[in-house]
Structure 1
Amino acid sequence: MQVRDCMITKVFTVKPSNTVKELLHILNSNRIGGVPVVDDKNHLVGMVSDGDVLRYLAPKPLGIAGLVYIIEDEELEEIIHLKLDTPVKDIMTKRNILYVSPDEEFDKTISLLSRHHLKKLPVVNRAGRVIGVLSRGDIINNISKKIISS
């Protein structure tokens, strides 16, 4: 079995210039946890996840050993509101982006996801364009349908 046999081809993506607010809308409205970041030619330039957003929006510790948080509720809302206009390029993963090709063997992809503790992998064709996404959930569904049910 190959990646093409179980990847999702309806891929939601963002551009590096999209804002965190726009990203959150895409993640929330489509009930997904991350998306590839692509340029104008749909080439993969990064990945961004709900975890990246949470790490960015989380209050930064102040004081000795980072144990003190001095932020009022109103201030926190204001800080988050200001951070929503940040471009995705400022919070996305840019280095060592892992991806697979549609021809990749399924077992190698499972190893890659588990070894690196990834939730999603973009599927990139030979031209470097994102043509799909493979998530842990997709793999579990396909194992259930194709292997266990047969």
Structure 2
Amino acid sequence: MQARDIMITNVYTVKATDTLKDLLEIMVKNRIGGLPVVDDQGNLVGMVSDGDVLRFLAPKPFQIIDLYNAMYLEAETIEDVLQQKLDTPVKKIMTKRFILKLSPDEEFEKTIRLLSQHHYKKLPVVNEAGRVIGVISRGDLIFNISQKMIAQ
């Protein structure tokens, strides 16, 4: 079995210039935890996950900004953070380097190894031109593994 046999082809994507608000709307509406980030031609330029969003939005605790005068900044609230950060472009929080991706011809076993070794929740599948044509998630693998076991 190859990646093309198990990948989801109805892929939701965002562009690097889309805002965090746009990203959150797509994630919530479609109940997904991560998306490929693509350019105008659909080429993969990054990945963004719910973990990236949470790390970016995490309010900061009290901070000392001047040790000599012991000046403190108040802790941020989530409301403060959201007001300040919802218009942030996705490119500021996406993973840009060391993006693992699969070709549609990748074997099932290699897909399992990549997802388990690197602790990713999903991997994009790209064609020879670098365009995103699918996504494979942990859930997709578990489903296919269980189908193989049940079919025996």
TM-score (norm 1): 0.91
* Other-structure match for 1:12: 12
> Corresponding residue for 1:71?
75
* Number of the residue aligned with 1:92: 94
DSSP 3-state at the match of 1:94 = coil
Q: Relative to total residues, which structure has the larger strand share, 1 or 2? A: 2
Rounded to whole Å, the distance in 1 between the matches of 2:46 and 2:15 is: 9
Greater shift in the superposed pair: 116-125 or 76-85: 76-85
Percent identity, aligned pairs only? 67
Q: What's the CA shift for 1:149? A: 1.3
After superposition, the CA RMSD in angstroms is 1.7
* Structure 1 residue 14 displacement after superposition: 0.1
Post-superposition shift, 1:84?
0.6
Q: Which residue of 1 aligns with 2:26?
A: 26
Provide the C-alpha distance between the structure 1 equivalents of 2:126 and 2:95, rounded to a whole number of angstroms: 16
Q: Distance in 2 between matches of 1:22 and 1:125?
A: 26
Alpha-carbon distance in 1 for matches of 2:58, 2:4: 37
- Which aligned pairs between 1:1-150 and structure 2 lie closer than 5 A? 1-61=1-61, 62-63=63-64, 70-71=74-75, 73=77, 76-145=78-147, 147-150=148-151
CA distance in 2, matches of 1:99, 1:69: 42
Return the offset for 1:59.
1.6
Q: Distance in 2 between matches of 1:54 and 1:149?
A: 37
Aligned residues: 144
The letter for the 2-side match of 1:126 is E
User: Residue 72 of structure 1: CA displacement?
Assistant: 5.9
Unaligned stretches of 5+ in structure 2? 66-71
The normalised TM-score by structure 2 is 0.90
Runs of 5+ unmatched residues, structure 1: none
Shift of 1:69: 8.5
Corresponding residue SS for 1:96: coil
